A and B are shown apart, each in its own frame.
Chain A
Amino acid sequence: MAIRVVVQEEPFDFGAEAEGFAAGRTDMGAVVTFTGVVRDVSGTLATMEIEHYPGMTQKALEKIATEAEARWELGEVLVIHRYGRMGPGERIMMVATASKHRGHAFEAAEYLMDYLKSRAPFWKKESGAEGASWVAAKDEDEDALSRW
């Protein structure tokens, strides 16, 4: 079992990451990838700035990935999350899970996403025509944790 967690400012190469993930693991029958993209909800978004807590981010993500590993049969887990400034359509983050069976890979990816949204120390700030504002956490993001 291998966990890889990457926190970086620069863009990542989704194609290369997906291609290399669990490569050569002939015991894994299922790979799930999820990518989060900067969304322009109002049509006026210029940039999104993601702040994070450098000392805590890597540890928090590793903890979430380790918990996923304990719950499902996973061969590999990858989490990449960016911080800093990005524009609409840019990839913010990705997770990938590999398992013998797709059920485990799908569920583990959803679990990672649910926890990453409200337990990893990232904060989004949107800037556009109407000024800048911090993205508020949604109750449903917190509620999503209760299903696990």
Chain B
Amino acid sequence: MDLLYFAWVRERIGLPKERYETEAATVNDLIEELRGREERYALAFSDLSALRVALDQELSEFDAPLAGVREVAFFPPMTGG
């Protein structure tokens, strides 16, 4: 799947997009995996209340299943308008 990062999540991880293969069943499982990769991921995912997730470009929840999902995006709460 493709992982996308926006705003300060992108800055903390240091890249906007990456390809990532995972067996994670849910977004929470995926986050747990990513946290274990490197310090910069642990830092970016340290406070989930400051994060939002979109699955295939639809806002979603952290307990949502990942089966069939091709694009996961992580970003802070949005500030449009």
Tell me the total A-B contact number using a CB cutoff of 8 A: 70
Does A31 lie at the interface of the complex (its beta carbon under 8 Å from any beta carbon of B)?
Answer: no
> Which of B4, B7, B59 is within 8 Å of A119, CB to CB?
B59
B81–A59 touching, CB < 8 Å: no
Contact partners of B71 in chain A: CB under 8 A:
55
Per the bound structure, the CA–CA distance linking A51 and B8 in Å amounts to: 11
Contacts of A81 in B (CB 8 A): 80
Secondary structure class of chain A's binding surface, majority of residues: mixed
Q: How many residues of A contact B (CB 8 A)?
A: 26
Residues of chain B at interface, number, CB under 8 A: 17
Show the binding face of A for B, using Cβ within 8 Å: 36, 51, 53, 55-56, 59-60, 81, 92-93, 113, 116-125, 134-137, 142
**Residues on B facing A (Cβ under 8 Å):** 4, 6-8, 54, 57-59, 71, 73, 75-81
Q: List 23 A-B contacts (CB under 8 A).
A: A53-B4, A53-B57, A53-B73, A55-B71, A56-B73, A60-B59, A113-B81, A116-B80, A116-B81, A117-B78, A117-B79, A119-B59, A121-B73, A122-B78, A122-B79, A123-B6, A123-B7, A123-B78, A136-B76, A136-B77, A136-B79, A137-B78, A142-B77
